[in-house]
Amino acid sequence: MGELVVIQTADMHGRLTGQCARALATLKQDYGALLLDCGDALDAANYLPKLSASRVAAAMNEAGYDAMALGNREYGWRSGTLAAKLAGLSFPVLAANLLAPPGPASPVQPSTVIERGGTRVGVFGLAPNMAPAGSLAQRSSDIRFAEAVSAAEQALADLAGQCDLTIGLIHWGRSMAQQRDLVSALRGLDLALMGHWHVDGGSLEQIGETTISRCGSHAAQAAVLRLCADGWSQELVSLP
């Protein structure tokens, strides 16, 4: 397995400018890295499309993102709304716990495998449940969500044998503690990149066999993660 570098962003909420995108593109090129986002990159409302989402999509495409998690800002009330929100993105949007409705293919997929520097990386996403039982969204939407731990376990099982290591893009959970509980329940997850709970600075922690990385929100910061002989290291980079 060759050297691997991953660049993480999270919870940008529409603040990715062209200048930030070009800075990320340079980082990605300099390191030969994977560029991954943990969700809530768009500034659209939770349920409705917004024209400015196309501007953010163009900036993300310019940066060269390889994949992102489906966050609540990317969610659409119905499958058509979801497709409209994500139409401008040129890379996979991931949510292993999203149950695709019947009819046209969903623009969201559970996972993807990306090759970088001789390493096959399996990446899956988890999204927040935006149609909980008894809610108006559940009664009126054609979108449903599976239980998160089971969905993540299935994604890891599907990726087994296809890749050299696995990364989860986690935009899920009612607290950081709940996110840690999720990670501790999983086997075969190498790196968990966290979003949804905004933080001012980065952190790196180990839970069992899984490394958890967080970075600052609102496009102020990216985390550069390097896989070393003794595990992952994290460098925090301020964005312009």
Q: What percent of the chain has pLDDT over 70?
A: 95
Burial code (b: 16+ CB inside 10 Å, e: under 16) for 48-85 equals: ebbeebbbbbbbbebbbbbbbbbbbbbbbbebebbbbb
pLDDT at 39 over 60: yes
Strand pairing of 119-126 and 111-116? Answer: antiparallel
Reported as half-sphere exposure (CB side, CA atoms, 13 A), residue 148 has a value of 23
Give the pLDDT score at 79.
86
Q: What percent of the chain has pLDDT over 90?
A: 75
Return the structure tokens found at 181. Answer: 């509980």
- 97: containing domain: 5-238
The burial of 121, by beta-carbon neighbours within 10 Å (0-12 exposed, 13-18 middle, 19 or more buried), is given as buried
Q: Give pLDDT tens digits for 104-125.
A: 677 899 999 999 988 999 999 9
Q: Which of 55-59, 132-136, 201-205 has the lowest mean pLDDT?
A: 132-136
Q: Give pLDDT tens digits for 52-74.
A: 578 899 999 999 999 999 999 99
Q: Do 126 and 72 meet the contact criterion of CB atoms below 8 Å apart?
A: no
pLDDT at 102 over 80: no
Residues forming a β-bridge with 111: 124
Q: What is the CATH number of the domain that holds 153?
A: 3.60.21.10
Give the chain's domain count: 1
Mean pLDDT (whole number) for 4-13: 97
User: Residue 190 — very low, low, confident or very high, per pLDDT cuts 50/70/90?
Assistant: very high
What rounded mean pLDDT belongs to the chain? 92
